[in-house]
Amino acid sequence: MARSVAEVLDLIQSEEVAYVDVRFTDPKGKLQHVTLDVDLIDEDFFEEGFMFDGSSIAGWKSIDQSDMKLMPDASSAYLDPFYAEKTLCVHCNVVEPDTGEAYDRDPRGTAVKAEAYLKASGVGDAFYCGPEAEFFIFDDVRYSVTPQKVSFQIDAHAAAWNTDTEYEMGNQAHRAGHKGGYFPVNPIDEAQDMRGEMLSTMKRMGIKVDKHHHEVATCQHELGMVFGGLVEQADNIQKYKYVIHNVAHAYGKSVTFMPKPMKGDNGSGMHVNMSIWKDGRPLFAGDKYADLSQEALWFIGGILKHAKALNALTNPSTNSYKRLIPGFEAPVLRAYSARNRSGCVRIPWTESPKAKRVEARFPDPSANPYLCFAALLMAGLDGIRNKIDPGPASDKDLYDLPPEELAEIPTVCGSLREALEELEKDMDFLLQGDVFTRDQLDSYIRLKWEEVYAFEHTPHPIEYAMYYSC
């Protein structure tokens, strides 16, 4: 629950907190932290912030301009469930120390500006999103990237490929088959208790949760969170990843949020359910297709129009495009529907107008959640502002269409290289209201080009299989 500064200070006293962890997110989406002794924490700390060196954060300050300030957001405070010493955590925005203005490359600050821009636009006063991030749990992960060896190897006791593996205590054989993980009970679903601990830990940290389950692929899982505001849910995704990594680690397991950690099975997405409200009413409920409003259809139009530029922020890894290929329920087609799941945007069925929403299905959990959610909102608002028609809905099975019909439906990007090129051409919708800045996006693009170059300049094992003897 959101807390005031006074309530946080009371909590520190009542819980006998020893340390305060100030946390922030870097441009790539990784949660960072500095731990402070509790004696440094008072009202002035929340008003004046904490200075730190930003030169070591990729994509931020140079060494000659390294001073930055973290401004803690008291409303985000929660007790850390993993540290031995009682520690309170608080998420921070980053500001310029000399002016006190928001640092334009700070992802959380971008999300804050996106919510403010929505209110200033007059379109709505609240944006709710509900992300659904999937992940894999493995027992053993090894990889190498050296001049003479580029390889990875993964294993898990629960994996489908271990049905005939010899174990010292015997092989009990209860495993979900290939693409068979949705939804058998234990003992096939071997991670029930672990996921339960993950979800209950999230709940103790103040996150509203609803479910957990095994996903389609072998070793693939998902936990559910109840929808919330943009900044709140981006904070929650950071907590979500933090909890899942640490609970799994305590069980001797390893978690990855890579979209496609292995070939031949489903990848991990992060579907994002979105709705706008105004004056206490749902803006997306109406009498158009699937009981949507005209504004909701325009919102979808904006998402579809800018989907390729969005890919650079919603699917920001080279691995993302191992998932965004036809098949495996991958949402590669720039289409929308209330029925099939193969398009970029789906309208989930609901009886209540209050639950009317649109679901972007192409994002994945490698995304920086602050930038991802803010970019989706900006694309949708551009659709509403410019009344972008999404065209007719696609209610057929899009993967079962004749080739000539399928060829007429545009697709999302096929690589991170293409996505970055598209963002360079189509970023004006993100710059509205200075939510994103040109400097921020240029810096982000430079960071991501480094990943593209690293990927494209490294020989792949499959190339040896295909070409070594040519």
Kindly list the catalytic residues.
53, 132, 134, 215, 222, 271, 341, 359, 361
134 is in an annotated binding site: yes
354 is in an annotated binding site: yes
> HSE on the CB side for 413, CA within 13 Å?
26
359 is in an annotated binding site: yes
47 is in an annotated binding site: no
How far apart are the C-alpha atoms of 391 and 409, rounded to whole Å?
11
How far apart are the C-alpha atoms of 169 and 172, rounded to whole Å?
9
43 is in an annotated binding site: no
How far apart are the C-alpha atoms of 325 and 412, rounded to whole Å?
10
Whether 311 contacts 412, CB under 8 Å: yes
Nearest to 21 by CA among 31, 6, 7: 31
422 is in an annotated binding site: no
323 is in an annotated binding site: yes
222 is in an annotated binding site: yes
295 is in an annotated binding site: no
Nearest to 115 by CA among 428, 376, 345: 376
The token duo for 132 is 């659904």
Label the pairing between strands 87-95 and 228-229.
unpaired
Q: What's the helix, strand, coil split of the chain in %, to 5?
A: 35, 25, 40
How far apart are the C-alpha atoms of 316 and 366, rounded to whole Å?
7
**Placement of tokens 């109840």 in the chain:** 226
3-state secondary structure of 370: helix
How far apart are the C-alpha atoms of 182 and 21, rounded to whole Å?
38
Q: At what angle do helices 416-425 and 438-456 cross, to 10 degrees?
A: 160
Annotated binding site for L-glutamate: 266-267, 323, 329, 341, 361
Annotated binding site for Mg(2+): 132, 134, 215, 222, 271, 359
Annotated binding site for ATP: 210, 341, 354
Annotated binding site: 132, 134, 210, 215, 222, 266-267, 271, 323, 329, 341, 354, 359, 361
